[in-house]
Amino acid sequence: MAFELPPLPYPADALEPVYSANTISFHYGKHHKAYVDNLNKLVAGTELESKSLEELIMLSAADATKVGIFNNSAQIWNHTFFWNCMKPGGGGKPTGALAKAIDAAFGGYDKFVEQFKASAVGRFGSGWGWLVLDDGELKVVSTSNADTPMTKGQKALLTVDVWEHAYYLDYQNRRPDFVQAFLDKLVNWGFVAANL
């Protein structure tokens, strides 16, 4: 069965003006869709056709001959996760058990923000900024290109896409402004808490 582009969890203009419908139309409608189309072409007619997305990510991560499958399958997973990490009117401080866990791990929300921004903004070239659960511990990490925490045994809780295609139409080269806006106005902390 072919992979499908999952529906967005909100209308394309729902994150305006922080994240424009124009950006979504390219980022979701073109980039995310292209990863789905590419993966379907790569696995069509092979024994990989019946694998789940997660299975494809894990088996191709360990096989240098399957770079194309890794890049496209991991990018599909990362993008679907990223869309769910945002909501209209999101952002600001989390509450409840998640807030307590962040306080305990980082010494407060502000310290977490400092680390998350430094990691995501400092990622050279294309990649992703993450909050992950690593062996029971909350950590801020970043990954390069399509790479994704599950290949390192980490559980993803939150991500921000820092490929230029994620922010250039709205923020041009100002990646720090995009990551700040993401934290202040977009993060769906309910989704992050559910992952935890």
Question: In whole angstroms, how close is the CB of 11 to Fe ion at the nearest point?
Answer: 19
Looking at this protein, which amino acid is placed at residue 45? G
- 17 vs 157: CA distance, rounded Å: 25
Can you read off the two tokens belonging to residue 153? 């045994």
Question: In whole angstroms, how close is the CB of 104 to Fe ion at the nearest point?
Answer: 31
Which CB, 163 or 182, lies closer to Fe ion? Answer: 163
Which CB, 26 or 109, lies closer to Fe ion? Answer: 26
Question: In whole angstroms, how close is the CB of 110 to Fe ion at the nearest point?
Answer: 27
At 159 the three-state DSSP class reads strand
Which CB, 25 or 46, lies closer to Fe ion? Answer: 25
- 57 vs 59: CA distance, rounded Å: 6
Question: In whole angstroms, how close is the CB of 73 to Fe ion at the nearest point?
Answer: 14
Please give the backbone phi and psi of residue 140, each rounded to the nearest 5 degrees, phi first: -95, 130
Helix (H) or strand (E) holding 151: none
Can you read off the two tokens belonging to residue 43? 């696995």
Task: Please give the span between the terminal C-alpha atoms of the chain, in angstroms, as a whole number.
Answer: 30
Residue closest to Fe ion (Cβ): 161
- Are 165 and 187 in contact by the 8 Å Cβ rule? The answer is no
Binding site for Fe ion (CB under 5 A): 161, 163, 166
Which CB, 161 or 170, lies closer to Fe ion? Answer: 161
Question: In whole angstroms, how close is the CB of 141 to Fe ion at the nearest point?
Answer: 17
Question: In whole angstroms, how close is the CB of 35 to Fe ion at the nearest point?
Answer: 9
- 68 vs 59: CA distance, rounded Å: 12
Which CB, 102 or 156, lies closer to Fe ion? Answer: 156
Which CB, 130 or 163, lies closer to Fe ion? Answer: 163
- 187 vs 2: CA distance, rounded Å: 30
